[in-house]
């Protein structure tokens, strides 16, 4: 899906203290390595194929046990009033980055990625082409 601009800030702001508490409640062993093995990148599936610990796109999406343990994260997702596909917490170790990539899988033709930073700092920038933005904790962006 092509958007009219690189970044769209949505009019939602969430309780960063509650989000941080729920994210920090997960043990380090619960974070999975990135599906493409990007150094320093990890995830916790919240909504996934059959509610299992996977990164698959196609098939019945269900809430994972991790999201069931996180009532405020569940409220955040429910506040959009939309049907969600694969949804994850993403972790990025300090001094690591996410390689440049494009959402070219058919899954993304009619979907968008919603980003809600939880633990971040002003040095973390999201790039799209020549444009970049810092997404502050608790803000909501496409």
Q: Which domain holds residue 63?
A: 10-113
Residue 48 lies in a domain: yes
Residue 132 belongs to some domain of the structure: no
* Cβ–Cβ < 8 Å for 122, 13: no
pLDDT in tens, 61-116: 999 999 999 999 999 999 999 888 889 999 988 887 776 756 665 555 566 789 99
Do the domain assignments include residue 95?
yes
Token digits for 90? 């993403």
**pTM score > 0.95 for this model?**
no
Residue 108, pLDDT score: 56
State pLDDT tens for residues 10-28. Answer: 999 899 999 999 999 999 9
Q: Indicate the number of domains in the chain.
A: 1
């Amino acid at each position: 899906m092509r958007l009219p601009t690189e970044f769209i800030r949505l009019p939602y702001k969430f309780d960063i203290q509650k989000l941080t508490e729920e994210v920090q409640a997960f043990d380090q062993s619960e974070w999975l390595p990135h599906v493409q093995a990007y150094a320093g990148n990890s995830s916790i599936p919240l909504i996934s194929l059959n509610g299992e610990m996977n990164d698959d796109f196609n098939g019945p999406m269900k809430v994972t046990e991790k999201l069931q343990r996180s009532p405020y994260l569940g409220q955040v997702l429910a506040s959009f009033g939309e049907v969600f596909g694969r949804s994850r917490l993403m972790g990025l170790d300090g001094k690591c980055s996410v390689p440049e990539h494009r959402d070219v899988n058919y899954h993304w033709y009619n979907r968008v990625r919603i980003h809600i930073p939880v633990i971040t700092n002003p040095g973390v920038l999201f790039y799209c082409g020549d444009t970049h933005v810092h997404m502050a904790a608790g803000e909501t962006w496409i």
